Structure 1
Amino acid sequence: MGNIKQDLMPVIRDLSDFDQHSGNRLERWVFNYRPLFMLLMTLVTLVLGYMAVTRLEIRPSFEKMIPQSQPYIQNFLNNRQSLRGLGNSVRVVVENTQGDIFDPEYLEVLKQVNDQLFLTDGVDRAWMKSLWSPGVRWTEVTEEGFQGGPVMPDTYKGTPEDLEQLRRNISRAGIVGSLVASDFKSSMLIVPLLDKASATGQAIDYQQFSRMLEQQLRKKIEFAGDSTAHQSGAEGNGPYKIRVIGFAKLMADLIDGLVQVMMFFGLAVFTSLLIIYLYTRCWRSTFLVVGCSLIAVIWQLGIVAWLGYAIDPYSVLVPFLIFAIGVSHSAQKMNGIMQDIARGTHKWIAARYTFRRLFIAGVTALLADAVGFAVLMLIDIPVIQDLAITASIGVAVLIFTSLLLMPVALSYVGVGSKAAERALKIDMQSAGDHGFGRLWSLLDRFTTRKWATGAVLVATLLGAGGYVISLQLQIGDLDSGAPELRADSRYNRDNAYITSHYALSSDLFAVMVKTPPEGCLNYQTLVLADRLAWELQQYPGVQATSSLVNAVRQITAGTYEGNPKLNSIQRNQNVLNYAAQQASVNSPELFNTDCSLMPVIAYLKDHKAETLDAVVAIASKFAQENSTEDRQFLLAAGSAGIEAATNIVVREANRSMLLYVYAAVTIFCLITFRSWRATVVALLPLVLTSILCEALMVGMGIGVKVATLPVIALGVGIGVDYALYLLSVQLSFQRQGLSLADAYRKAVSFTGRVVGLVGITLAAGVVCWAWSPIKFQADMGILLTFMFLWNMLGALILIPALSHFLLRETGTVNSKEVELTVKPVKDSGHCNKSGVSHAL
């Protein structure tokens, strides 16, 4: 970090003039046994690289996407076996583009799709629904009583009479709008999925499941086996189209997008190479900086695989961040070594000097980064907790690769003589206000009252305006479909088709009515369930509701020759028992086997945050007012119910997460600076960036959800690096008696270019995400780029401006508040031949 007087680091050209026993114990272990250290690092890299290649898996999980200790989710998990079809399921639509569903060829294709899905491992076959499922039945009332049967006639052979019979059965079953499209051009298959495949006992491989959908269904049917035309995201030109939505398909599409994402990782590596080379004009040191950062990624992935963790579409972003952070810290080491070599110091000694200057500062910065990741562990969503673990592992790895391996490797290769001369020339130009030195002189002005007042005033206005806008920040999805993917993705096009052609959406919100055995047939229970359904229907975002009450009404009326006056809930228990008996045949999903649980299902028009919040408010109020010991109304099941519970956890975690991050960063700053004034100066730019980031999310139409929640914590943890690099150097010079302007000028001269390089490198590592096919990754890339660059500008502009008001007087920075990161050791006994000893 450079907060040490230059005369404490004398220029030593000859190794015989340097005391190899100087420095602390870690330095002596690392540098005095360089060959052994490099051999050990090579072996570890090879072993972890092998583990990353052979053991690492991309394995998303439905269970990890939900907050399992949230009360709503607990209610769902405790009653999951009685709620088949209200959890993880896929909906497949087969469309006839050249006719309708009453076509023998179409029905044969639909049968092929039905059989393929039915035989697929991991499908909950008993609860699968389609026109070919025997459990999809019709019922009607005749003079002789109830009649009914499967919608698809048992004797179906494709004759005109069979097709006419099928048409009548569909009408009598009341499945138009749910299993059959309103225009009769398509029909739906509802495919519930098990937690684990029944054959293997392993969690379902969503990518393999999606591959089956693409190869066995879409390719064979929609593209008629034309492999050249079957492309991801394209639609076939044949008479039939296959449309698929559901969590499993969404996760598989995200995984497929990761293949393209790896191209962006290569672009990030190339961009970093270019930036570092333009800064150093030295290829060997440039490749070393990027190489050490790539080694960090290899270590991180290897350790993750060794510990048994898997990569999912959310944590796959972590290697990008680890690489970017590694490049920035390695560049710090390279910059220090280059400056010492330029002054004539031997490359091995220069590496040790840089290690002494920067190790503690680097560890402190990485700990601040780790806090930004580790705080995510407090969020009760397993996928975010896994992200926090993998990221924390990556940060720990950087201590070995960026802080130890980098300076040792540079002690071997050094830097080119022309690059060293160029670095020295730039330092001289900066000191004389030539070249980029004019920019640093401009920054010096922010230490004066006029410029400091202006900067603080502008920052205050930006913060106030950003705060007002950030109040509009919403939790959850703000768009229909799958916001994780692009609006024009095949998944979202399929979702748009299904939404427009089917009356009932796939966004189900279920309230579980739990009673003692046989209690769901209690008259009062049915009345309250009916009242709950009515209250839900009053909200415009609810398309329709369904429960046992609907079946009881219909069957009771049918028992009395369809008398509309008896389309109601009767007090006679025998009537209710008979209605439930008939309902168990045609709609067994309406209650469990002992009639102790029945769901009241609301079909929502979308899963936007506003819709979910309103439905939760209605249902929870009703539950609080009507739940008793014998009758409980429990929220919530269904895809929309699970998402509503997730939104509640995200809303609670959003503010508490920021508080924990800032509390931890404050502690690190207090330990580092030993000054509350300096801590305030370091934190205020971060607070401004957080506020403006939330305002940017509002402007971009991004809600706070599982995919975006980690961004702000990561930005704060990484952003504090700038203050640690710049402010501590400034405080060191102030402690030596320099004025604020002179101290800041020297701090900028020594670390200003590197701070700029860090900000640009971090931003360049993630800005290319903006072109990712995965929209949530593109959003994260834009937000992180904004936070990295804005934190850099905040450090360079607001730190001197705030210092003018809080740290202007040298008396506010005394020896008790700020200590040198590197200071002479009085009792070490190990001195170099210049008579100077050092310790960390």
Structure 2
Amino acid sequence: MKNATFKALAQVIDWILRHRVPVLAAIVGFTAVMGYLAAQIEVKTVFSDLLPRNHPYVEVNNQFKQTFGGSNMVSIMLEVEQGDVFNMTVLSKVRQITQELQKVEGVDTYQIASLASKKMKEVRASTEGIESRPLMWPGLPKDAAEIATLREAVLNNPLVYGPYVSIDMRATLITADFIDGAVDYVKAYRQIEEIAERAKGDGVLVRVVGEPILYGLVNHYLGETLQIFMITVGALVVLLLLITRTWHGTVLPLVTGVVSAIWALGAAKLMHFHLDPLVIVVAFLITAQAISNSVQLVSRFDDEVAAGASSAAAAARASLLNLFKPGMLAIVADAGCVLVVALTPIPMLEKISYIGTVWILSIMLSAMVLTPVLLSWCGVKKRYAHPINVQPLLHKVLGLCAALVTSKLRFAVVAVAGVAFVVSGIYAFKLKVGDANPGSPILWPDSTYNQDATAINHKFQGSDRMFVVVSGKKEGALKEPAVLEGMERFQKYMEAQPEVGGSISLADILPAVKRVVREGNARYQELGGSADENGELVYMFVSGADPGDMDRFADPQAKNGAVTLFFRDHQGETIRTAIARVKDYVANNKLEDAEFLLAGGLVGVLAAVNEVILAGQIESIAFALLVLVACCMFTYRSTVAGMFFMVPVLLSNTLTFSYMAWKGIGMNINTLPVVALGIGLGVDYSFYIVDGIREELHHHKDVGRAIAKSIATSGKGVLITALTLVTSVVLWSFSSLRLQADMGVLIAIWLFISAASALFLMPAMVYVFRPEFIVGSKRHPVEQAIQVEPAQAV
């Protein structure tokens, strides 16, 4: 740091400490205002925030979701332990659930389908003509004969047998879609769970899946999440108190974390943002950044006091003066890396990026100003809170670190890091974009939800849906034989993918109607030979139907239709394969009168999310690294500095990505924020260690001695922070939400790698490579330190 800049910084610090009372009052007042706003922030999940902006799949979904079904569909399966579903017990439960679903808030009553719904119909031919009538509406079968008739009608209806009654007839399905924007996941989850609970018993199992249920469960566990958060904070307090033995070493870092959190949440309220329960772990990660910076200042304060500082104010002044540059560099670099996340055009990630950036920038005041101000009142007399002294153990560990990196083993440290980087980098390519396992990655594999999903996918074609729109160039295009035959061929092509359990479209309905017209003769189960004949078959099907009965297959003008595909899982690889197959079919099978449009439904919008993340992942990492390099180059006025500090970042990323690949944690919308934050997290500790080496070299030219001193001082703060945060964050592994547990482990890994890199790799690299911006050279020698006298009033 230039001498003039050093003097100017000292003057600013003197002014802050001289006016510490009004400074503290201003911070307290501002915190009170932001606290009032933070208390009003909503904690909820908004599904539309998870969808990319201006993506063609999302646009197709939004255009046609009211007719062909959206991404908020709930599936309820009733399964009998003995016999089949054609008995009064099961059928009455089906009717009861169907009727009660109509009262669920936000449900689209026109999109409820079951054996007992009015829309589930059969087409019959008689001497009086063709009629279309409900299978089991408005009443239940009255006797065994009517139940047998119902069974026969189901077996002869391809729209029901398979999609809504399982092939073994031991399970039946009820589906309900919700109106996007009107669904309240918490209320929907509670109301449907109550409906399911009432239906259980009498030898009938009830299983429920769907995005409203999933995100309702996330909110259901919000109380547990907050409990784990508070327990984690409690563990953090205990560990800090155990290690530091002082109240100021325990309380001040926590005050810093709380203040920055209040300011960020208050700012989020001002920006009209809400807090998603799934990103609470991310909040802990940013809070850890604030705590880390404060611990460094407190640790340096204690060292200054031990060195004989004349007063607490003088010790606080010296601490901030010496740690200002690495602290500010860490804050600015972290904020820049988080802001890069906003480049991904997904509303939730954009909101996390803006809130996270404000949160991290607030550390400039909460840690770099508030902590020194509070330290200035702590006094210099040592007062220990308990008799347990772990400091000798810490000093021994740090001494071993220094001895290792200043010996010949420093070459081995660099070599091991290089091998770890290469091996983990290669293995990291196995990391999957999207969900890496069947079921929901948010919950544990043995959770009730994932078990229900497995059971439904085993009995039926699949609980996850994607619709591909067949858009005609004119009205009536869907009646053209070539278009219908193209839809039929497309369905057969897609059903060859093992994860696709089945499909349904207008091309399945018309052959069934033609068969009925021909007195049930299976030889005539085929499409009409002309547009007129197909038009007549459509008319026969809808003649006795209610308005909207055909909506899930085609619009009233027969211009746009849907091919709905049923998936047994929505893993990233499954979705990518399906989309690739759709594109391949479309490219090689052009229709003269229509075109295929991708893609709606849950699988369709997940495909959009995965594509955006896949395209934006490398871009975000590249931009984040660019931000890091720019910050380092500006701070140290050296291109080499930017490249030098990329080493721990790249190492922490490859090791963490390889762990994610090994444990089957996919790169999805929920894990991406933690990954982006990890870029900044991977280098923060190194800033303090390296700057400590540079600071010591201002007093002498012995690199080994400078490394040992930096590890003993700055390294102590690194070790304390890493021990406390890594140990406490492991508590997240007890969460009922697998996502939070996985994110907790990822944070712990990043903290550990970051600390290990700072204590071992970076000092070893300094000793081996002697970068000019740290140790100087003949052309650019290290400046000699100047003595800045403390202001009289401090």
Shared fold per TM-score greater than 0.5? yes
Match of 1:785 in 2: 748
Return the offset for 1:559.
3.5
Match in the other structure for 1:87: 71
Q: Following the alignment from structure 2 to structure 1, what is the Cα–Cα distance between the partners of residues 202 and 252? A: 54
Question: 1:164 is matched with which residue?
Answer: 148
Q: Give the one of 494, 509, 518 matched to 2:466.
A: 509
Aligned counterpart, 2:409 = 451
Q: Pairwise mapping of residues 611-690 of structure 1 onto structure 2 (< 5 A)?
A: 611-627=574-590, 631-690=594-653
Q: Distance in 2 between matches of 1:596 and 1:251?
A: 35
Measured at CA, do residues 288 and 457 of structure 1 come closer, stay the same or move farther in structure 2, by a change above 3 Å? closer
* Code of the aligned partner of 1:260: E
Question: Aligned residue for 1:731?
Answer: 694
Q: Is the 8 A contact 2:465 2:567 kept in 1?
A: yes
Separation in 1, partners of 2:778, 2:42: 52
2:429 match: 471
Distance 1:764-1:173 versus aligned 2 partners, 3 A rule: same
Per-residue CA shift, 1:656-679, capped at 9, x if unaligned? 221111111111111222233333
C-alpha deviation, 1:562, in angstroms: 4.6
Tell me the equivalent position of 1:180: 165
On the 8 A contact 1:735/1:813 being kept in 2, the answer is: no
Larger deviation: 746-755 or 517-526? 517-526
After TM superposition, give the deviation of residue 270 of structure 1 in Å.
Answer: 1.8
Of 200, 206, 229, 2:185 maps to 206
Aligned to 2:446: 488
Look up the match of 1:537. 495
- Tell me the residue number matched to 2:264: 300
Identity %: 25
Q: Which amino acid is 2:402 matched to?
A: L
Give the direction of change, closer, same or farther, for the CA distance of 1:677–1:294 in structure 2 (3 Å limit).
Answer: same
- 1:544-563 correspondence to structure 2 within 5 Å: 544-562=502-520
Letter in 1 for 2:229: F
After TM superposition, the structure 1 = structure 2 runs for residues 217-256 of structure 1, keeping only pairs within 5 Å, are 217-222=195-200, 239-256=203-220
AA in 2 matched with 1:181: S
Contact 2:41 2:265 in 1 (8 A): yes
Equivalent residue for 2:655, pick from 658, 668, 692: 692
Runs ≥4 residues deviating over 6 A: 420-426, 808-812, 815-825
**Cα distance, 1:195 vs structure 2:** 1.5
2:671 equivalent among 696, 708, 724: 708
User: 1:462 aligned to 2:423?
Assistant: no
- Residues 512, 573 of structure 1: alpha-carbon distance in 2 compared, 3 angstrom cutoff: same
Distance 2:629 2:219 in 1: 38
Summarize deviations over 1:495-540 as a string: whole Å, max 9, x none: 12212222x1112222211123222222322232222222212223
Using structure 2 for the length normalisation, give the TM-score. Answer: 0.91
Aligned to 1:747: 710
SS of the residue corresponding to residue 503 of structure 2 reads strand
Alpha-carbon distance change, 484 to 811 in structure 1, aligned in 2, over 3 angstroms: closer
Deviation of residue 148 (structure 1)? 3.5
Q: Distance in 2 between matches of 1:362 and 1:273?
A: 22
Aligned AA (1:278):
L
User: Distance in 2 between the 1:454 and 1:410 partners?
Assistant: 41
1:50 maps to which of 36, 43, 46: 36
Whole-angstrom CA distance in 2 between matches of 1:424 and 1:699:
39
Which residue of 2 is the match for residue 500 of structure 1?
458
Superposed, 1:41-120 pairs within 5 Å as 41-53=27-39, 55-83=40-68, 85-97=69-81, 100-120=84-104
Look up the match of 2:24.
Answer: 38
Letter aligned with residue 357 of structure 2: S
254, 266, 287: which is aligned to 2:230?
Answer: 266
Q: Report what 2:486 is aligned to.
A: 528
CA distance in 1, matches of 2:110, 2:588: 36
Aligned position for 1:151: 135
Match 1:391 to one of 349, 352, 356:
356
In 2, are the aligned partners of 1:356 and 1:822 still within 8 Å (CA)? no
1:568 aligns with 526
State the partner residue of 2:175: 190
Separation in structure 1 between the aligned mates of residue 211 and residue 734 of structure 2, nearest angstrom = 24
CA distance in 2, matches of 1:261, 1:815: 57
Change (3 A) 1:645 1:415: farther
- How far, CA to CA, are the matches of 2:647 and 2:176 in structure 1? 52
Deviation at 1:133, TM superposition (A): 0.9
Q: Structure 1, residues 786-812: CA drift from partner, whole Å, max 9, x if none? A: 111012111222112222342167996
Instruction: Tell me the amino acid that sits aligned with residue 690 of structure 1.
Output: N
What is the 5 A alignment of 1:275-314? 275-314=239-278
Give per-residue Cα distances to partners, 1:200-229, cap 9 Å, x unaligned.
Answer: xxxx22111112123x3244443xxxxxxx
Q: State the SS of the aligned residue for 2:107.
A: coil
The 1:816/1:68 distance shift into structure 2, 3 A limit, reads farther
Q: 2:331, 2:360 within 8 Å by CA — same for their partners in 1?
A: yes
Alpha-carbon deviations, 1:635-672, whole Å to 9, x = none? 11122222222221121122222111111111111122
Distance 1:410 1:377, change over 3 A: same
Aligned to 2:281: 317
Q: Answer yes or no: is the 8 Å Cα contact 1:318–1:390 preserved in 2.
A: no
Amino acid at match of 1:512: V
* Higher deviation after alignment, 473-482 or 93-102: 93-102
Q: 1:772 aligns with which of 735, 741, 753?
A: 735
Q: Tell me whether 728-737 or 657-666 shows the greater mean CA deviation.
A: 728-737
Mapped to 1, the partners of 2:196 and 2:61 lie a distance apart of 33
Structure 1 counterpart of 2:331: 366
- Report the counterpart of residue 234 of structure 1 in structure 2: none
The alpha-carbon deviation at position 594 of structure 1 amounts to 1.8
Contact 1:330 1:402 survives alignment (8 Å): yes
- Tell me if 1:404 matches 2:363: no
Conservation of the 8 A alpha-carbon contact between 2:401 and 2:760: no
TM-score where L is the length of structure 1: 0.86
Give SS of 2:110's match.
Answer: helix
Q: Could you tell which deviates more after superposition, 55-64 or 764-773?
A: 764-773
Identify if the C-alpha distance between structure 1 residues 552 and 398 changes in structure 2 by more than 3 Å, giving closer, same or farther.
same
SS of 2:206's equivalent in the other structure is: strand
Q: How much is the aligned-residue C-alpha RMSD, in angstroms?
A: 3.2
Answer whether contact 1:507 1:605 (CA < 8 A) is retained.
Answer: yes
Cα offsets for 1:463-503 (capped at 9, x unmatched): 2221222222222222212121011212112212212222x
- May I ask how many residue pairs the two structures share in their alignment? 785
In structure 2, the residue matched to 1:440 is 399
Q: Deviation of residue 541 (structure 1)?
A: 2.6
Partners of 1:64 and 1:382 within 8 A in 2: yes
Quick one: distance in 2 between partners of 1:149 and 1:366? 68
Query: How far did 1:190 drift?
Result: 0.7
Instruction: Return 378-387 or 154-163, whichever deviates more.
Output: 154-163
Distance 1:657 1:458, change over 3 A: same
CA shift, 1:619, in A, is 0.4
Q: Check the 8 A contact 2:479/2:532 in 1, yes or no.
A: no
Q: Which amino acid aligns with 2:119?
A: G
Pair 1:131-2:94 in alignment: no
How far 1:47 moved relative to its partner? Answer: 2.5
**Could you tell me which residue of structure 2 aligns to residue 15 of structure 1?**
none
